[in-house]
Structure 1
Amino acid sequence: MTLLCCHALCILVINKNCLNVKTFSRKGSLTIHQRIHSGIKPYICTECGKSFMTKGSLTIHQRIHTGIKPYTCTECGKSFTVKNTLKIHQRIHTGIKPYTCTECGKSITRKQELKIHQRIHSGMKPYTCASIKSYI
């Protein structure tokens, strides 16, 4: 049995093929993915009313209100609400830069920073100011 999503229509199918399909090994992952299409956010913060697609996202959000930061850097003592944020922070101490630009070889600590850096080579400028007018 394969769990898959065909475009905006997510369905459970048995041995069917579809172009441009996103597949899942667990039914729970498909259910969470389906919420992207439906917009359903069943987990609501009782403190501020903000809603989330997953219970985990709500739990992380609630740390804003409680001030709980369960992940602490052993090098400098700085605390974080999200484990992955701690992992990225620790690269400051280790010097690890796991992302490398294929154009110039520059090493970078975060994937998003690499995407931004690569715009230097591609010339891509995705943001436009609508307020600026040309004056002749």
Structure 2
Amino acid sequence: MGKPWKCEDCGKGFPSPSVLETHRRVHTGERPFSCTDCGKGFSWLCNLLAHQRVHTGERPFTCSMCGQGFSRMGNLQTHERVHTGEKPFTCPVCGRGFAQSSTLLVHKRVHTGERPFTCSVCGKGFSRMGNLQTHERIHTGEKPFTCPVCRRGFSHVGNLRQHERVHTGERPFTCSECGKGFIDSCSLLTHQRVHTGDNLLTCSLCGKGFTSSSHLQRHQRVHEPSQGN
């Protein structure tokens, strides 16, 4: 069957005038289908029906492996890659695979250096919107993540998770040489210098080595002249 009805904007052909008219909303931005709950408009009825599940909570598409429900078939198909390990979107630069095209798009910025999200306060750029939002808390002082034990606030959920180990005693980062545990990877890397001798910081006065700058600074006070009256 031919497609004699051509779009004047892009030249794409369609089998009937009604299908062409629906397509033209891509160019005109027309959104004739509106949600009665929130007023959001959509170009196609199927998108409106899918959106309305946000309000109804309906999740008709269920994962056969874990039972998790989704409001859109596309979201289910993306989720199923968690179980299958499928990564159909490949970076043309380094060959790394991704389960979602959006994740690949963000990854490509590693190679291009693109930082489209800019802080309005200091101008620093970020490759992800989430990273920008986290950074902005430096300026606002916002600390939305609170420790349930001591009520201390944190600007990033990762910092909260690390802090909670102070209360639980969990030390998931273990030294392969001596078995000593640490609450974060940075502390483990610093400790491992004891075994490898790499990047030791040396006191310029006595030559003694230290694994961290804070330990070196504390040691250097030994050489400071006493402040007697």
Q: Give the TM-score, by structure 1 length.
A: 0.81
Q: Which amino acid counterpart does residue 51 of structure 1 have in structure 2?
A: G
Tell me the percent identity. Answer: 43
**1:127 pairs with 2:145:** yes
Matched, 1:107 2:137: no
User: Which one of 57, 75, 79 corresponds to residue 75 of structure 2?
Assistant: 57
Question: Does residue 41 of structure 2 align to residue 23 of structure 1?
Answer: yes
For 2:32, the equivalent position in structure 1 comes to 2
Q: Is 1:79 matched up with 2:97?
A: yes
Q: Which has the higher contact order (CA 8 A, sep 6+)?
A: 1
Distance 2:80 2:66 in 1: 9
Q: Distance in 2 between the 1:22 and 1:77 partners? A: 39
Q: What are the Cα deviations for residues 56-80 of structure 1, in whole angstroms up to 9, with x where unaligned?
A: 0010111122221101112111100
- Partner of 1:21, secondary structure, is coil
- Deviating runs (4+, > 4 A) in structure 1? none
- CA drift at 1:2: 3.3
Query: Of 96, 110, 132, which aligns to 2:114?
Result: 96
Q: Note closer, same or farther for the CA distance 1:132–1:66 as it changes in structure 2 (3 Å cut).
A: same
Larger strand share, 1 or 2: 1
> Which whole-Å CA distance do the structure 2 matches of 1:40 and 1:133 have between them?
36
Change (3 A) 1:104 1:40: same
> Separation in 1 of the partners of 2:151 and 2:140?
25
Pair member with larger Rg:
2
Q: Secondary structure at the match of 2:35?
A: strand
Correspondence list, 1:34-49, <5 A: 34-49=52-67
Q: What TM-score does the superposition give when structure 2 sets the normalisation length? A: 0.50
**1:133 Cα deviation (Å)?**
6.1
- More helix per residue: 2
Write the deviation string for residues 39-65 of structure 1: whole angstroms up to 9, x where unpaired. Answer: 100001112211111000010111122
Number of residue pairs aligned between Structure 1 and Structure 2: 122
